[in-house]
Amino acid sequence: MAEKNKQNQGIYDTIIIGAGAAGLSAAVFAARAGMKTLIIGDPNQSMVAMAADIGNYIGTDNWSGKQWLEVGLQQIKKYGAEHVIAEVVHVVKQENNGIFYVKTSDAKQYQAKTIIICVGIAYKTTGIRGEKELVGRGIHYCVACDGWYYKNKKVAVIGNGNFAAEEAIELTSYARDITIISNGQEFQISQEFMNELKKNNIKMIDDKVREFRKDDKGEKIAALILENGKSFPIDGLFVAIGTATALDFSNKLALDLDEKQNIKVNRETGETSLAGCYAAGGCIGGTIQIAKSVGDGCVAAISAIKKVKGISRYVDHT
């Protein structure tokens, strides 16, 4: 028993991914319920931070989104939630113990009994000529889903951040020749990931891509045409722009999606198709408003609280 307690010490009751409206709302509920709570994400990268005046959220007329976030962060910390500004690049659930392993851009790994995905809205395509018609024919958005098709092949990952680095490293289980191409952006990859890329002989180039070129039969991708006119032959391309999005997490965890590619949840509980994994806010679709995200965060957190505590009813009246 003592050994089991020791093992559990580093395990959070819940990890909330995303520190915007839904994430902060989930955090305040979880922390107030005495849950060991970690919230990972940069509030300044949230949509809320872009709002100049959130006059339609009751009680905050004339507040900027940044003010609202600042007060929210103080509030969750007051109740004991821990906050880390980092980007989550990978999540898996270990089937034998039901624990979620959450990996961040600074190469840290956290463990939790439940997770709540609150990453907002973002589906990133490159917009480069040829992309749409080559999706699934050499252009992919998920290494965990499609990397297998590229055993011993030459592949590229398009992106300039830690998420692109993580996807490239995951590809080493399959491909023999891997290049990350930043599409003219400056690389913003942490030292830990840079070391991993070097260790795995992953190349990095910063050329801009003008077009995705098909093979002679017009069936699949054959090359990237760079801005300088040169051709860069490849067998496959993985898009990993910016940070990992809701869609990336759902791919990694094999979560069900709805018809609009949002994470599908039980609307009464916020639970996804994977037990112990909840989602809230913009990433589950619906109205794009702070009030809606705050409500979703509350619902998901209460479900996580019930699961961790093994109770069927939880009301916070304190």
Ligand X SMILES: Cc1cc2nc3c(=O)[nH]c(=O)nc-3n(C[C@H](O)[C@H](O)[C@H](O)COP(=O)(O)OP(=O)(O)OC[C@H]3O[C@@H](n4cnc5c(N)ncnc54)[C@H](O)[C@@H]3O)c2cc1C
Please, which residue, 18 or 276, has the CB nearer to ligand X? 18
Closest CA to 131 of 202, 225, 216, 228: 225
3-class secondary structure, 135: strand
CB 316, min distance to ligand X, A: 20
Closest CA to 40 of 18, 62, 59: 18
Sole window of 2-10, 226-234, 289-297, 307-315 interacting with ligand X (rule: CB under 6 A): 289-297
User: Applying CB under 6 A, which of residues 27, 28, 31, 40 lies at the interface with ligand X?
Assistant: 40
CB 122, min distance to ligand X, A: 7
Rounded distance, CA 227 to CA 209, Å? 6
CB 162, min distance to ligand X, A: 9
**8-state DSSP, 53:** -
Per rule CB under 6 A, count of chain residues that contact ligand X = 34
Q: How many CA atoms lie within 13 A of 271 on its CB side?
A: 13
Sole window of 27-35, 53-61, 211-219, 299-307 interacting with ligand X (rule: CB under 6 A): 53-61
Rounded distance, CA 143 to CA 272, Å? 21
Any idea which residue has 């989104």 for tokens? 65
Rounded distance, CA 115 to CA 121, Å? 18
Q: What percentage of the chain's residues is helix, strand, coil (to nearest 5)?
A: 30, 25, 45
Structural Rg of the chain based on CA atoms: 21
The answer to whether the Cα torsion of 131, 132, 134, 135 is positive or negative is positive
Please, which residue, 25 or 222, has the CB nearer to ligand X? 25
Helix boundaries (H) for the chain: 2-8, 21-32, 65-78, 131-134, 143-146, 162-171, 191-199, 246-253, 290-309
Please, which residue, 93 or 223, has the CB nearer to ligand X? 93
Residues with Cβ within 8 Å of residue 3, at least 6 apart in sequence = none
User: Applying CB under 6 A, which of residues 15, 16, 17, 298 lies at the interface with ligand X?
Assistant: 17
CB 19, min distance to ligand X, A: 4
User: Applying CB under 6 A, which of residues 37, 45, 190, 251 lies at the interface with ligand X?
Assistant: 45
The contact mask relative to ligand X for 246-285 (x = CB under 6 A, - = no) is -----------------------------------xx---
Please, which residue, 105 or 179, has the CB nearer to ligand X? 105
User: Applying CB under 6 A, which of residues 20, 138, 161, 295 lies at the interface with ligand X?
Assistant: 20
Tell me the two tokens of residue 291.
């009030």
Is 41 among the residues that bind ligand X (CB under 6 A)? Answer: yes
**8-state DSSP, 213:** E
CB 150, min distance to ligand X, A: 24
Is 106 among the residues that bind ligand X (CB under 6 A)? Answer: no
User: Applying CB under 6 A, which of residues 157, 158, 244, 302 lies at the interface with ligand X?
Assistant: 244
| Residues numbered 58-97 forming contacts with ligand X, rule: CB under 6 A | 87-88
Binding site for ligand X (CB under 6 A): 17-23, 40-43, 45-48, 50-51, 54, 56-57, 87-88, 118-120, 243-244, 281-282, 288-291, 293
